[in-house]
Chain A
Amino acid sequence: SYVLTQPPSVSVAPGQTARITCGENNIGSKSVHWYQQKPGQAPVLVVYNDSDRPSGIPERFSGSNSGNTATLTISRVEAGDEADYYCQVWDTTGDHPRVFGTGTKVTVL
């Protein structure tokens, strides 16, 4: 399967803004979803359909998607936001389904 390209790591100080990108040719034409995964836990949906938030997810989490890059933005970062983040699309065209990004480890300094 092809994968969506994410930076391996992002470091951010508490209170600052973290931006995590997800790259794929013409990803702006697809719906992108984002998951947070803390060690030893199952992934949790934090943004769906590019920019919608599930109930219970803080407004600090936001998303955008245009052209070849989708972005998850975490504003006013807190220590509890330290986790792995994955983008996801659902693209079964062709012989190779594309689903998850490579993942980004967010470290809060």
Chain B
Amino acid sequence: EVQLVESGGGLVHPGGSLRLSCAASGFTFSRYNMNWVRQAPGKGLEWVSYISSSSSTKYYADTVKGRFTIARDNAKNSLYLQMNSLRDEDTAVYYCARVGYGGNWFDPWGQGTLVTVSS
């Protein structure tokens, strides 16, 4: 069964840092591009970042550029999101999502991990 499991969320003060992880199983992780997507409470989906299968290409939303860093470890079947200089508006559920092979849809998604930025 294809599965993505996020971890690392929690409560952090503004200006703080947090590292999210996404553990992949049930497929050949190294062959797939991956994304992070977030959803603030009561709001819509916001794409955050993309990384290609070999880590050669990375994209970031303007709202997180310069503060967040996406990375992956294909040997460990894991995706990461290093979040620095966190702001109140970064409060959201963060999902990792696999990119469809040969396409650009997101499937499947993990269950999400909640990040709360508050003093």
Q: In the bound complex, what is the Cα–Cα distance between A107 and B29 (angstroms)? A: 37
Of the listed residues B50, B107, B108, the one surrounded by the most CB atoms of chain A closer than 10 A to its CB is B107
- Interface size of A by CB at 8 A reads 26
Contact count A vs B, C-beta below 8 Å? 61
User: Separation in Å of the A41 CB from the closest CB of chain B?
Assistant: 8
Q: A31 contacts the other chain (Cβ, under 8 Å)?
A: yes
- Interface size of B by CB at 8 A reads 22
Are the CB atoms of B63 and A88 closer together than 8 Å?
Answer: no
Within 8 A of B (CB), among A62-106: 84, 86, 88-90, 92, 95-97, 99-103
Contacts of A96 in B (CB 8 A): 62
User: Separation in Å of the A3 CB from the closest CB of chain B?
Assistant: 8
Which of B45, B59, B61, B62 lies in contact with A86, CB distance below 8 A?
B45
Q: In the bound complex, what is the Cα–Cα distance between A106 and B39 (angstroms)? A: 18
Q: In the bound complex, what is the Cα–Cα distance between A100 and B100 (angstroms)? A: 16
The stretch of B10-18, B71-79, B109-117 that contacts the partner chain: B109-117
Q: In the bound complex, what is the Cα–Cα distance between A48 and B104 (angstroms)? A: 9
Q: List 30 A-B contacts (CB under 8 A).
A: A1-B61, A1-B63, A31-B103, A33-B105, A33-B106, A35-B45, A37-B45, A42-B108, A42-B111, A42-B112, A43-B106, A44-B109, A45-B105, A45-B107, A45-B108, A48-B100, A49-B103, A49-B105, A86-B44, A86-B45, A88-B106, A90-B104, A92-B50, A92-B59, A95-B62, A96-B62, A99-B47, A100-B37, A100-B44, A100-B45
Instruction: For the complex of A and B, list the 8 residue pairs with the smallest distance between their C-beta atoms, beginning with the closest.
Output: A90-B104, A99-B47, A33-B105, A45-B107, A103-B44, A48-B105, A42-B109, A100-B45
Residues of B within 8 A of A (CB): 37, 44-47, 50, 59, 61-63, 95, 100, 103-112
Residues of A within 8 A of B (CB): 1, 31, 33, 35, 37, 42-45, 48-49, 54, 84, 86, 88-90, 92, 95-97, 99-103
Beyond the given pairs A33-B105, A90-B104, A100-B44, 15 more chain A to chain B contacts, judged by CB atoms under 8 angstroms and listed by A's residue number, are A1-B46, A1-B62, A31-B103, A31-B105, A35-B45, A42-B110, A43-B106, A45-B108, A48-B107, A54-B107, A88-B105, A97-B59, A97-B61, A100-B46, A102-B44
